[in-house]
Amino acid sequence: MLAVYGLERKTAQSAAEHLRRLVDEIKTRTKLSAEDENVFKALQIRPADPRNALDYAYLSLNQEVIPQPRADLLQALRKSLIEAYPDIRVLWRTHAGLDKTRRLTFSMDGQKQAQEIAPKLNEWLERKGYQVLTTYTSRASGTWRITYDFIDPSHVEAIYASPPVIAGRTLYPSRPRFIIPSYGYQIAILGCRDWQSAKGTLNKFVRQLCQRDDGLDPIVHSRMELGGDVYTAVLRDWDSTVKVAEGSDALRDFLSSHVVGRHINPVPQPGLLYGLNGSGLFFRQGPNDRDHNSSEIQQLRHELDAVRQQGLEHIQTLFSSLARTNEAIATMGTRLDHSLAAMTSLAAQQTLDAQVLQLELSMSDLRQERNQCQLVLLLGDRVPEDMKQHNLARMRECEEELDDRRRQIEDLRKQRGAVAFNASASLAAGGPPMITPPPAQEQPRVVAETEGSGIMDGPPASTPQANGDLNMEITPVSLACSSPPPPDPDGHLHPGPSSEPRAQRACAASGYDEAICCPGASDFEPPFLSPPFPSLIPKTRTIFATHAPTQIRLPSLLTNPAPFRLLLALLCFTSLFTFVSASNTLTALTINCNGLANVAKQNAVSNMIAAHNPHIWVINETKSSHPMRDRIRAPEYNKFESVGCKLERGRAGKWGVIVGVKRCLHVQRLETDPRFQGRIVALIRQLRL
């Protein structure tokens, strides 16, 4: 079947009608014999597409008039049309369906991009003067494409050689793979690229299979197409063509007895070139091929490289986003752990505060009982001797119990201080700046006056400040009570006759509980006067003075712990919602090399690593049971390898992994199960403080 191009295309039938007029003109100008008349009667002319206006039509022979295909008759008519009308092109039809010999396709990332690029591409083609026959946008095999069929084949070659640049992006076209037949009786055999001297061997097979009685060579001419991957041959008659096209079994038997052909597996399948063009030609192209299709493959490689580069950029962006997300999640988890630890510490502090409060209350009861015993002893002879002894013994027991309670309170306060320090350290490590204990310094001492003694020892108390926004002022405490009573022979203090009213007045004037201002109040410390950091509050003792009572001045933050605990709780919860706004980018490169024994592949992998300069690169499938990491040029990386396992047959191996990590990233290799040799390289990051 012939395809005639360059015809009229006003309507869908214009090309076929134009071709009929041309054939009628040749018929009228030629002196025809009876056989020629029969040939012209057998001619069938039909449009390529009955719905769209195209510039070509098909010409064939009616099988009812001429049953057997006659390529010689069509070839003679083709020659007559070309000689009579040089402006048209007459070729053997390449494949079934619409013609694709003048088609170019531009792949797009999506429908939106295709809709945006199509008008700009049409404008570029119009500006260049490239006439378009048909164009459409479609989604074939899940990929959006813009397809053009051009009128002039030279325009296809020009666009293919110099692709358009739209919006700073080079649009690489692709085109169908085909071989234009040179005659009707033409066969093709695929898969001959790795077969040395394939043409001579297959010529011998065709001559042996299609021996003629007249002694003529059944092969008119033969050649290798598509860089040596396809063998094509034009045969002398239709019977020989059919015999070769259906001779797959004969070809298998021939190759099995051939010295070189017996090693070819799988056996190539012969067929008509027209049919193979319709099903698609898949081939491999060599770097040294000089034919027209070599440029197609080179252009296809450029297009694949561009797609691969885009994929690598997307993967790098994905890895960067994933790294930032993982870092944010890890930071959030760390802060949550610190906050939970701080909350646990706060709960422990509350428990310790409750225990201290219980002990302080019990100490208050013991002091009242001791004071009662002292009052009984002050009655002197008015109290029986056994009652005196009993009260004296009980007073000593109260003193011992008070000493024991003091030790317990001291231990609880130390525990509370340690818990508070751990809580502050946890919060400082996992969130915003927190209050940390100041360095140890000399405890401030209270200045007080005694009757006739002047100023007692020690300079004024210093004002410690926490390492944060919270300033805590420590004011010296002076408790005003009556003059200290003289001690009894046992060394205990006894209140004087007028001490109780004056103590009550002093307590009323200062606004504090009576238990604080009474004799022995130095043993009592309110539980809420213990801040989260005990080192900020000096230990004070009650000073007795004869001057007028002075009011006790303490920081409201210490006497009322509610604001401080509220602030600490807010800091705990704030650390839960503090996210990382920026992070370093970690780049990784993975390469599936499918074997690394080839020196050229080793150089290519080394160049790829040097070009991308990732923090981490991984090479899979080295397929070698020997170490290969030293063959990769990457001096800036620490390389770790798990060599592949040797195959049971042959010298090759399977699996194999090589991992490279920048020397600035300190990693250490972990031991893995020997069963995973060649498949796993486990590394752990070492953090250097």
Choose the weakest-confidence range: 72-86, 285-299, 377-391, 666-680. Answer: 285-299
| Residue-level pLDDT at 659 | 96
Q: Identify the helix (H) or strand (E) that includes residue 313.
A: helix 292-378
**DSSP SS3 for 662:** strand
CA distances from 471 to 435, 445, 664 (A): 10, 20, 43
Q: What confidence tier does 682 reach under pLDDT thresholds 50, 70, 90?
A: very high
| Residue-level pLDDT at 274 | 78
Peptide bond preceding 266: is omega within 30 degrees of 0, i.e. cis? Answer: yes
Whether the CB-CB separation of 628 and 596 falls below 8 Å is answered with yes
CA distances from 462 to 444, 477, 534 (A): 6, 13, 15
**226-245 core/surface letters (b: 16 or more CB in 10 A; e: else):** bbbbbbbbbbbbeebbbbbb
Task: Give the separation between CA 130 and CA 151, rounded to whole angstroms.
Answer: 8
Q: What confidence tier does 468 reach under pLDDT thresholds 50, 70, 90?
A: very low
Task: Give the separation between CA 360 and CA 366, rounded to whole angstroms.
Answer: 10
Q: What is the pLDDT of residues 179-215, one digit of tens each?
A: 888 888 888 888 777 677 788 888 888 888 888 888 8
**DSSP SS3 for 575:** helix
Q: Tell me, what DSSP letter sits at residue 246? A: T
Give the pairing type, strands 2-5 and 89-92: antiparallel
* Mean per-residue pLDDT, 533-559: 38
| Residue-level pLDDT at 313 | 85
The CA-to-CA distance between both ends of the chain, in Å, stands at 80
CA distances from 398 to 331, 372, 579 (A): 54, 11, 57
Examine the pLDDT at 72 and tell me if it is beyond 80. Answer: yes
Residue type, 505: R
Residue type, 24: D
Cα dihedral across residues 606, 607, 610, 616: positive or negative = negative
Most confident of 164-173, 529-538, 589-598: 589-598
| Residue-level pLDDT at 280 | 60
Q: What confidence tier does 411 reach under pLDDT thresholds 50, 70, 90?
A: very high
Q: Tell me, what DSSP letter sits at residue 258? A: S
| Residue-level pLDDT at 526 | 40
Task: Give the separation between CA 28 and CA 33, rounded to whole angstroms.
Answer: 12
Q: Identify the helix (H) or strand (E) that includes residue 682.
A: strand 682-685
Task: Give the separation between CA 163 and CA 175, rounded to whole angstroms.
Answer: 13
466 Cβ neighbours under 8 A, 6+ residues apart: 435, 436, 437, 438, 472, 533, 536
Nearest residue to 613 via CA among 593, 582, 586: 586
Task: Give the separation between CA 269 and CA 245, rounded to whole angstroms.
Answer: 8
**DSSP SS3 for 167:** coil
| Residue-level pLDDT at 400 | 92
- DSSP assignment of 100-163 equals -TTEEEEEESSHHHHHHHHHHHHHHHHHHT--EEEEEEEEETTEEEEEEEES-HHHHHHHHHS-
pTM, rounded to two decimals: 0.41
| Residue-level pLDDT at 403 | 93
Side by side, the strands of the sheet bearing 43-47 are 43-47, 56-61, 2-5, 89-92
Nearest residue to 256 via CA among 227, 127, 248: 248
Examine the pLDDT at 6 and tell me if it is beyond 60. Answer: yes
Q: What confidence tier does 29 reach under pLDDT thresholds 50, 70, 90?
A: confident
Q: Tell me, what DSSP letter sits at residue 549? A: -
Question: Counting Cβ atoms within 10 Å, is residue 545 exposed (0-12), middle (13-18) or buried (19+)?
Answer: buried
| Residue-level pLDDT at 590 | 94
| Tokens matching residue 516 | 């604080």
Task: Give the separation between CA 78 and CA 80, rounded to whole angstroms.
Answer: 5
Phi, psi (degrees; rounded to nearest 5) at 172: -85, 120
Q: What is the pLDDT of residues 91-122, one digit of tens each?
A: 988 877 788 888 898 988 888 888 889 999 99
| Tokens matching residue 344 | 């646990």
**DSSP SS3 for 5:** strand
* Mean per-residue pLDDT, 592-603: 90
Examine the pLDDT at 552 and tell me if it is beyond 90. Answer: no
Mean pLDDT across the chain: 75
462 Cβ neighbours under 8 A, 6+ residues apart: 441, 442, 444, 474
Rg (CA), the chain: 51
| Residue-level pLDDT at 607 | 92
Residue type, 488: D
Task: Give the separation between CA 686 and CA 665, rounded to whole angstroms.
Answer: 8
Residue type, 244: V
Torsion of CA 261, 266, 269, 273, to 10 degrees: -100
Examine the pLDDT at 643 and tell me if it is beyond 60. Answer: yes
Q: What is the pLDDT of residues 293-328, one digit of tens each?
A: 455 666 676 677 778 778 888 898 999 999 999 999
Sole residue written with tokens 């494949």: 95
Which has more pLDDT, 198 or 635?
635
Phi, psi (degrees; rounded to nearest 5) at 308: -65, -40
Q: Tell me, what DSSP letter sits at residue 493? A: B
Choose the weakest-confidence range: 49-58, 233-242, 399-408, 508-517. Answer: 508-517
Task: Give the separation between CA 58 and CA 157, rounded to whole angstroms.
Answer: 24
Q: What is the pLDDT of residues 325-370, one digit of tens each?
A: 999 999 999 888 888 888 888 888 889 999 999 999 999 999 998 8
Q: What confidence tier does 430 reach under pLDDT thresholds 50, 70, 90?
A: low
Residue type, 644: G
Choose the weakest-confidence range: 247-256, 431-440, 565-574. Answer: 431-440
- DSSP assignment of 218-241 equals SEEEEEEETTTTEEEEEESSHHHH
Nearest residue to 378 via CA among 394, 392, 366: 392
CA 366 to chain centre: 69
Examine the pLDDT at 229 and tell me if it is beyond 70. Answer: yes
Whether the CB-CB separation of 58 and 2 falls below 8 Å is answered with yes
**55-78 core/surface letters (b: 16 or more CB in 10 A; e: else):** bbbbbebeeeeeeebbbebbbebb
| Residue-level pLDDT at 571 | 52
Task: Give the separation between CA 91 and CA 675, rounded to whole angstroms.
Answer: 63
Residue 488's CB is within 10 A of a number of other CB atoms, namely: 14
Side by side, the strands of the sheet bearing 186-190 are 219-225, 230-235, 186-190, 270-272
Task: Give the separation between CA 310 and CA 113, rounded to whole angstroms.
Answer: 15
Nearest residue to 481 via CA among 580, 420, 550: 550
| Tokens matching residue 309 | 């580069």
